[in-house]
Chains A and B, each alone.
Chain A
Amino acid sequence: MKYIDEFRDPALAKNLFRRIESLVGPAGGTKEKPLQIMEICGGHTHAIFRYGLDKLVPAALEFVHGPGCPVCVLPMSRVDDCIEIAERENVIFCTFGDAMRVPGTRKSLMQAKAEGCDIRMVYSPLDALELARRNPDRDVVFFGLGFETTMPATAVTIRKAAADGQTNFSVFCNHILVPPPLRALLSDPQMRLDGFVGPGHVSMIIGTEPYRFIAEEFGKPLVVAGFEPLDLLQAIVMVLQQLAEGRAEIENQYARVVPANGNPHAMAAIEAVYEPRSSFDWRGLGEIDRSGVKIRPDYAAYDAEVKFCVGYGAGKAAGREPEGCRCGDVVKGLIKPPACPKFGGECVPERPLGALMVSSEGACAAYYQYGGTRREEAA
């Protein structure tokens, strides 16, 4: 298949593996103390396991799976809020499919649907707006979820709803930002990361500038990467090269898609519709300053938090994480999924206890599905 197979060429991959092999020592990695490179994005986590890259790189190099899976870092209290909205009379609650099985403290959206809530899976916020147009007597709520990648689409939909006067449509906004949790992780004294592979799709929107603090304040290299296996391997070579040469810079492997200054139109849409929250709760990481956005007061009529009085400011206590669940330590890179006592036993993809087991981009689900012998290690 053209434009795909070129990025999965085994012969080219072999070259890159050889370069990784020769660079990992000079970069400071040893078998006893492997270099830790965090791939921030869940899409990268999925690709690493799908192509078995973790098993093909030398033992002196270790992938740490970062917080970049929006479903995985969604706190249970926000799922509870979704269900509270969905249970209201007359509501059609619209969500992306991968959020259906995320456990809340009482139940998941999937269970709520089975109990009779009108919950629909959509592929785009515009589908939800269309549902609102076709069901003028119902209140249609879209579950806005995701990083800077999905924020513009939700923003454009809100502006279209406002322009059309579609007042039976609102968004439950759970959009979050990539840079703030990276700062939080780097400031954590337990962390010992050596470098980052940066998210390709998010960077397509925000550009490379917002990562500058990682190099300048924390002295770590970051390379923005695409999602094909050769993209990832090349990005790792670039990170190792920086480490070997004692550099810490923000580089862009994915220049065919990511412009240095991002997408100004998308950023303008984001700017017009959202404003930062003072803080947002991340599952496993806790509250992080200015890490989430809410809908600006100009668009309050389309803000489900205002319309239904739920979420931040509604005065409800945050839901507790399930006992023994170590999703937080996995997201921080402190342990590998099989080291969690619940992994593979009480927590499996068909009955997820923690959020990292829910989405195929979650580190635990990826380990479980593609992890090879690691699953036995956990048993």
Chain B
Amino acid sequence: MTMAASIVPARRKPKGKVTLAHGGGGKAMRDLVEGVFVEAFGMGEAPLEDQARLVPPEALLSGGRLAMTTDGFVVDPLFFPGGDIGKLAVWGTVNDLAVGGAIPHWLSVSMIIEEGLDIEVLERVADSMREAADLAGVRIVTGDTKVVARGGADKLFVTTAGVGVIPAGRDLGAHLVQPGDVALVNGYLGRHGAAILAARGEMMLETAIESDCAPLNGLMEAVLSAAPRTRCARDATRGGLASLLNEVAAASGTGFAIEEARLPLEAEIRGFCEVLGFDPLYLANEGRLAVFVPPDQADAALAAMRDHDHGREAAVIGQVTKGPAGRVVMNTAFGGSRIVDMLVGDQLPRIC
């Protein structure tokens, strides 16, 4: 059943807590869907149906390709410094489209709600999603809600899917990365992981670290117009920059040489990692990407990033090498070198 199940006007705004009745398909569900989600998302000008009906954008009609992606969000806590599950769910999917060179257009939202959740929490998440969608220039066009009994889920899980258009002539992918290419990142690393850990309170650390979560489609367009021969871009989410580099190195059959001294790391994150024994290269981000560009376009890409709100602390971090394939080496500030491997073992659970 979809959020758009009814075209009858909402009778009253629901209050209190979500009960199993809100998932039952009856009046209570209709009130919840219309009072919370349709109200927040304002799903377009047309009356809502069981499916979104979309007009193809110009870029698609003139030879572009569709791009589609989906992602589930189970972050705990739901609200944290710098963001919340709603922003993550919208921007995470927007970013997955953007790093492929797609211009994101439409999102669907599916909510799994645990019985007992305050409806007010749901409203805050829905409002946040609307705000996030507006900032990223995308529309939430369809959705679904399910309510599960207490213990069947934890508070709220959100899944989004997104569709965008890759304009004709644009092709990005790890297979295009070549030795000699330059790797850049768009800002300070590790904020999201650190913010979530601090917000959980288990470490009893007080920090002012905020999540870096942000929509990256605007930044990507700026980079692509400044450096049109950009080979590949990836967002550095779970597993951090280290995992991203390993994935791209493996997929492209190249190696990377990263310079530790050039990594954008701020004192607060370095201190957090020193105290807790984390490596900032493995901490999660939600608004960071790496791009790989030919050497003659590196300056242009860097300048475009630094001109953008989400790229002020952008930096060139290293170079693509001949390999061995899949090998990421970091030249330490100390004069040594070490391998930066994929994260092994305990990924911090429920970080996004």
* Chain A residues close to B by CB (< 8 Å): 1, 4, 8, 10, 13-14, 49-53, 55-56, 97, 100-101, 123, 127, 229, 349-350, 365, 368-372, 375-376
Q: Is the CB–CB distance between B270 and A10 below 8 Å? A: no
A98 to chain B, nearest CB (A): 8
B276 to chain A, nearest CB (A): 9
Q: Is the CB–CB distance between A100 and B336 below 8 Å? A: no
Instruction: Tell me if B202 is interfacial: C-beta within 8 Å of chain A.
Output: yes
B: contact size bracket: 20 to 34
Q: Is the CB–CB distance between B346 and A100 below 8 Å? A: yes
How far, in whole Å, are A376 and B333 apart by their CA atoms in the complex? Answer: 25
Q: Is the CB–CB distance between B271 and A229 below 8 Å? A: no
Top 3 A-B pairs ranked by shortest CB distance? A52-B336, A349-B344, A370-B338
Q: Is the CB–CB distance between B344 and A372 below 8 Å? A: no
- Least CB separation from A48: chain B residue: B336
Contact of B333 among A10, A123, A349, A350 (CB under 8 A): A10
Q: Is the CB–CB distance between B274 and A56 below 8 Å? A: no
Q: Is the CB–CB distance between A52 and B337 below 8 Å? A: yes
Contact of B203 among A56, A100, A123, A369 (CB under 8 A): A123
B336 to chain A, nearest CB (A): 2
Q: Is the CB–CB distance between B344 and A369 below 8 Å? A: yes
Query: Cβ of A123: which chain B residues have Cβ within 8 Å of it?
Result: 202-203
- Least CB separation from B270: chain A residue: A1
Given A1-B271, A4-B274, A10-B333, does the pair A52, B344 have CB atoms closer than 8 Å? no
Mostly, the A contact residues are helix
Instruction: Tell me if B339 is interfacial: C-beta within 8 Å of chain A.
Output: yes
Query: Cβ of A349: which chain B residues have Cβ within 8 Å of it?
Result: 344-345
Instruction: Tell me if B208 is interfacial: C-beta within 8 Å of chain A.
Output: no
Query: Cβ of B203: which chain A residues have Cβ within 8 Å of it?
Result: 123
How far, in whole Å, are A368 and B345 apart by their CA atoms in the complex? Answer: 13
Chain B 135-162 interface residues, beta-carbon cutoff 8 Å to A: none
How far, in whole Å, are A369 and B340 apart by their CA atoms in the complex? Answer: 7
What are 6 A-B residue pairs whose CB atoms fall within 8 Å in the complex? A1-B270, A51-B338, A55-B337, A127-B202, A350-B345, A372-B329
Q: Is the CB–CB distance between B335 and A371 below 8 Å? A: no
Residue from A52, A55, A100, A368 whose CB has the most chain B CB atoms within 10 Å: A52
- Least CB separation from A8: chain B residue: B334
Query: Cβ of A350: which chain B residues have Cβ within 8 Å of it?
Result: 344-345
Chain B 320-352 interface residues, beta-carbon cutoff 8 Å to A: 324, 329, 332-339, 341, 344-346
Q: Is the CB–CB distance between A101 and B336 below 8 Å? A: no
Instruction: Tell me if B7 is interfacial: C-beta within 8 Å of chain A.
Output: no
How far, in whole Å, are A177 and B64 apart by their CA atoms in the complex? Answer: 67
Query: Cβ of A375: which chain B residues have Cβ within 8 Å of it?
Result: 339
How far, in whole Å, are A229 and B332 apart by their CA atoms in the complex? Answer: 12
- Least CB separation from B337: chain A residue: A52
Instruction: Tell me if B267 is interfacial: C-beta within 8 Å of chain A.
Output: yes
Residue from B202, B329, B345 whose CB has the most chain A CB atoms within 10 Å: B345
Q: Is the CB–CB distance between A13 and B345 below 8 Å? A: no
How far, in whole Å, are A97 and B341 apart by their CA atoms in the complex? Answer: 20
- Least CB separation from B261: chain A residue: A10
How far, in whole Å, are A54 and B329 apart by their CA atoms in the complex? Answer: 16
How far, in whole Å, are A52 and B332 apart by their CA atoms in the complex? Answer: 8
How far, in whole Å, are A1 and B337 apart by their CA atoms in the complex? Answer: 21
Q: Is the CB–CB distance between B345 and A51 below 8 Å? A: no
Q: Is the CB–CB distance between A52 and B274 below 8 Å? A: no
How far, in whole Å, are A279 and B270 apart by their CA atoms in the complex? Answer: 42
Query: Cβ of B337: which chain A residues have Cβ within 8 Å of it?
Result: 52, 55, 372
B339 to chain A, nearest CB (A): 6
Q: Is the CB–CB distance between B336 and A53 below 8 Å? A: yes
Query: Cβ of B270: which chain A residues have Cβ within 8 Å of it?
Result: 1, 4
- Least CB separation from B277: chain A residue: A360
Given A123-B202, A349-B344, does the pair A372, B338 have CB atoms closer than 8 Å? yes
A208 to chain B, nearest CB (A): 26
Query: Cβ of A53: which chain B residues have Cβ within 8 Å of it?
Result: 336
What mask results when residues 262 to 304 of chain B are scored 1 for a CB within 8 Å of chain A, else 0? Answer: 0000010011001000000000000000000000000000000
Query: Cβ of A369: which chain B residues have Cβ within 8 Å of it?
Result: 339, 341, 344
Q: Is the CB–CB distance between B335 and A10 below 8 Å? A: yes
- Least CB separation from B265: chain A residue: A1
Query: Cβ of A10: which chain B residues have Cβ within 8 Å of it?
Result: 333-335
Query: Cβ of A371: which chain B residues have Cβ within 8 Å of it?
Result: 339
A179 to chain B, nearest CB (A): 26
